Amino acid sequence: MGTHAQKHGKRLLYHWLIGIAALFPLLLAACGGAATTPGGSQAITLKIMDYSPEQAAFHKAVAAEYQKTHPNVTIQWQSIAQAQYLQALPLAFQSHQAADIIYWANGVVSMSQLLSQGWIRSLSPDGKVPQDWMTRWPTNTFQEGINMHNGQVYGFPFTDNIIWGPGYMYYNKSIFQAAGLTQPPTTWSQLKSDCETIKSKTGKYCLSVPLKGVDFQRIWYALAGKSMTNSFFDYKTGQYDLTEPRMLKAFTFIQSLYQEQLAIPGVNDKAISRQQMAAGQAAIYFDGSWMPTTFTQLGFAYPAYGVAQAPVPDDGPIGALSIQNTENKYWVSSQTTHAQEAWDFIQWMTQPDGFFVKGYLNGGFGTLAYTDNAKNLTDPGEKAVADVSKGLRVAYPEPLLQCPDLAKSQAFTKSATFHPNWEWEVMVDALVNHKDLAPLAQQVVNGRQQILDQGLQQDQTKGLKVSKSCYAFSSWDYSQNFDPANYPKS
């Protein structure tokens, strides 16, 4: 008898071979003569690849709907797990078998990364897109270096960045009622007072906070964002910021809730913490806009819970959470032989009131950047989140717009990705082991800043016009939308 690992390996090999066998006819068809539809037009298969396996049924419905008006096009949408995708995509390009449309999401540097690898081309065959298509997004959405290259459009924001994201406080209405509370807290002192009331009157914990891995971000982004920023980088000074007084103040406040035993103890992950909230073991849980679907799956549907913005510091809402042009995710592959068909599908997919939009929103997969989400959402919990989102986020500075050469620099990426999860590790350590965060935070800031500064200096020796000042927007206020007109390009 083999070991469990050996059996698991054999099963994986079996499924891999089955997958290859299933793809073989498609590869042969691609190498053979082109088929035609009954009407005489050439039949093609448009391949799309991403890592959203939970949307497989939706993608199948999309393909069927699209073929009604494009009978010569068969959509083959492959969604696999993210870890597998990140391995499979480079191999697909190396073997010249990449899909026609690919998914890649790595913030504002996505396009520059994909261009440097030679993986993408402009959205349309000639690089031009109609103005009425561009107006599906807000002004200043299409920006050189982010989703435009040499004046041609390469990408478009897919996911909404106003509703979608962290920063929400969910509360169990039955526990609040049992504690005699009628409204969610709006300030930090009210939150602490309400937590104490909940504990004394109901015997329940006030907070369910996940601490496993990076899960502490669920509460951290919400409270730090209101105190200063939900970013570990300060765009006023161009420095990493975990040592900033208002960032440390947010952590100290969270630490005080633990010291009074108002939060469920233990280093739990987000799945357990969400279950604790849904099961009525805790009154408050901080997380993102995606929670209505998750809570429904846990048998805890709206209006059993309420949703509000996170409370603000008692000295006022100094900051706001970020809006950045980071949601450019679907790209046309440089290896496509169906550039026009890929562009046709993208135009259809991004119709503001089209089949894709309504199915995506009704499926609870998120909110989209090119539609009126509040109008098209149907789930009452998601509608409540959309209502609460107003004023939660502001547009943050975009250094790439001030210094276009940053598109060729890896300095910031290297500094931000060095020692992954470093900030979360030191904060959880300080929280669980009752430590002062300041000296631990200083190590993180020094380490990241040194890598950034050295990287920028190296870039300068290569002739790039980059510097620390590219990241500093001194007159910008954390709670105000950034206006690029005030910062000319260097």
Task: Catalogue the E-assigned strands of 220-281.
Answer: 233-234, 239-240
For residue 36, is pLDDT > 80? no
DSSP string, 104-152: --BTBTHHHHHHHTT-EE-SSTTS---HHHHTTS-TT-S-BTTTEETTE
* pLDDT-derived band at 139, boundaries 50, 70, 90: confident
Q: Specify the 3-state DSSP secondary structure of 457.
A: helix
For the residues 41-65, what does the mean pLDDT come to? Answer: 95
Confidence of residue 189 (pLDDT cuts 50, 70, 90): very high
Residue 335: DSSP 8-state: T
pLDDT value at position 17? 34
Question: Tens digits of per-residue pLDDT, 428-444?
Answer: 999 999 999 999 999 99
- What is the per-residue pLDDT across 241-272, written as a single tens digit (0 to 9) for each? 999 999 999 999 999 999 999 999 999 999 99
Overall size of the chain counted in residues: 490
| Residue in 121, 127, 116, 83 with CA at minimum distance from that of residue 102 | 121
SS3 letters across 407-428: HHCCHHHHHHHCCCCHHHHHHH
Average pLDDT over residues 195-224: 97
User: Is 59 a residue whose pLDDT tops 50?
Assistant: yes
Helix (H) or strand (E) holding 156, with range, is none
Tokens 């959880």 -> residue: 428
Which tens digit of pLDDT belongs to each residue from 90-109? 999 999 999 999 999 988 87
Question: Rounded to an integer, what distance in angstroms lies between the CA atom of residue 112 and that of residue 101?
Answer: 17
Distance CA 285, CA 294 (A): 13
* Residue whose token pair is 């995506």: 360
Percent of the chain with pLDDT over 90: 81
Q: Distance (Å, rounded) from C-alpha 73 to C-alpha 37? A: 9
The per-residue pLDDT for 34 is 47
| Per-residue confidence band for 143, with pLDDT thresholds at 50, 70 and 90 | confident
The predicted model scores a pTM of: 0.84
Q: Which pLDDT band, with edges at 50, 70 and 90, does 130 fall under?
A: very high
pLDDT at 109: 79
DSSP one-letter code for 242 = T
Give CA–CA dist 96/106, Å, rounded.
Answer: 23
- Calculate helix-pair angle for 56-69, 355-362, nearest 10 degrees: 160
pLDDT at 228 over 60: yes
pLDDT of 145 strictly over 90: no
What letter would DSSP give residue 35? P
Angstrom CA distances, 71 to 74, 123, 413, stand at 8, 22, 44
Copy the structure tokens of residue 166: 């962290």
Report the chain's mean pLDDT, rounded to a whole number.
90
Q: Which residue segments constitute the domains of the chain, with CATH numbers given?
A: 39-161+326-350 (3.40.190.10), 166-323+400-490 (3.40.190.10)
Say how many CA atoms lie within 13 Å of 233 toward its Cβ. 20
Q: What are phi and psi of 286, to 5 degrees?
A: -95, 135
Span 35-40, average pLDDT? 55
Q: pLDDT tens for residues 279-326?
A: 999 999 999 999 999 999 999 999 999 999 999 999 987 899 999 999
> Which band of pLDDT confidence, cut at 50, 70 and 90, is reported for residue 377?
very high
Do residues 240 and 468 touch, judged by C-beta distance below 8 A? Answer: no
Q: How many CB atoms lie within 10 A of CB 109?
A: 19
